[in-house]
């Protein structure tokens, strides 16, 4: 009977270690010790530390993007032009909250979002994380474009600009989470924060 892969266990251990250490301070020797393997056995599962970090990025993608797509697909009745529904703002809210909640529940991944874990890693790996963030922004931009078609021009903005504003909220909350050593949760006071965002972006 083939032996079960220990890849999930290795990735889980790496994510846990990232909570206490930036990526550059985690060696394969320490990781192997954490999971009870020799370094040689560790390399049989992953040929390099970069591949392990890539595995964590893939886990983020596989976790949040299907849910994000489901949020975007949620049915909404198109209103007459100039009549704002809660559908599109609510989708933006749910996507931003989805990302923040994921990071809050998986603190080690916050270091991937802010780049700590990728210091000294390959350009390709950093590009992979940028691509992940770009996909989140693209989804927000698409929802905001749909909103622009339903209403008179959104207040003082373009969908591209508003998508960047929402990404700034995501980036800022996660960065604060890391700076506080995971004490200030990304969803802390979220409803009050979203109310301010909603009034500034979606008020007509």
Closest CA to 145 of 165, 161, 169, 168: 161
Q: What pTM value is reported for the model?
A: 0.87
* Structural domains of the chain ordered from first start: 49-201 (1.10.357.10)
In eight-state DSSP terms, residue 46 is: -
| C-alpha–C-alpha distance, residues 193 and 204, integer Å | 19
| C-alpha–C-alpha distance, residues 179 and 32, integer Å | 28
Query: Quick one: CA torsion of 62, 68, 72, 75, rounded to 10 degrees?
Result: 90
pLDDT given at position 159: 87
| Residue owning tokens 């990304």 | 186
In eight-state DSSP terms, residue 154 is: P
pLDDT given at position 40: 93
Per-residue confidence of the chain (204 residues) as pLDDT tens digits?
345 579 999 999 999 999 988 766 788 999 999 999 999 999 999 999 999 999 999 999 999 999 999 999 875 544 444 444 448 889 999 999 999 999 999 999 999 999 988 888 889 999 999 999 999 999 999 999 887 776 655 554 588 889 999 999 999 999 999 999 999 999 999 999 999 998 888 765
pLDDT given at position 75: 56
| C-alpha–C-alpha distance, residues 12 and 3, integer Å | 19
> How many CB atoms are closer than 10 A to CB 167?
18
pLDDT given at position 148: 72
pLDDT given at position 164: 95
pLDDT given at position 2: 43
Query: Quick one: CA torsion of 58, 131, 189, 70, rounded to 10 degrees?
Result: -70
């Amino acid at each position: 009977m083939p032996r079960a892969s220990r890849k999930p266990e290795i990735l889980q251990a790496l994510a846990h270690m990232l909570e206490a250490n930036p990526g550059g301070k985690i060696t394969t020797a320490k990781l192997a010790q954490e999971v009870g393997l020799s370094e040689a056995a560790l390399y049989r599962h992953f040929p390099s530390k970069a591949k392990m970090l890539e595995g964590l990025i893939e886990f983020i993608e596989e976790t949040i993007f299907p849910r994000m797509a489901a949020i975007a697909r949620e049915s909404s009745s198109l209103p007459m032009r100039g009549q704002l529904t809660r559908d599109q703002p609510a989708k933006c809210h749910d996507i931003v909250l989805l990302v923040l909640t994921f990071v809050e529940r998986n603190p080690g991944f916050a270091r991937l979002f802010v780049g700590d874990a990728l210091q000294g890693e390959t350009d390709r790996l950093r590009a992979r994380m940028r691509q992940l963030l770009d996909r989140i922004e693209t989804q927000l931009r698409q929802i905001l474009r749909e909103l622009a078609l339903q209403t008179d021009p959104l207040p003082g903005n373009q969908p591209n600009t508003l998508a960047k504003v929402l990404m700034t909220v995501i980036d800022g909350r996660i960065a604060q989470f890391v700076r506080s050593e995971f004490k200030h949760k990304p969803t802390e006071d979220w409803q009050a924060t979203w109310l301010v965002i909603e009034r500034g972006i979606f008020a007509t």
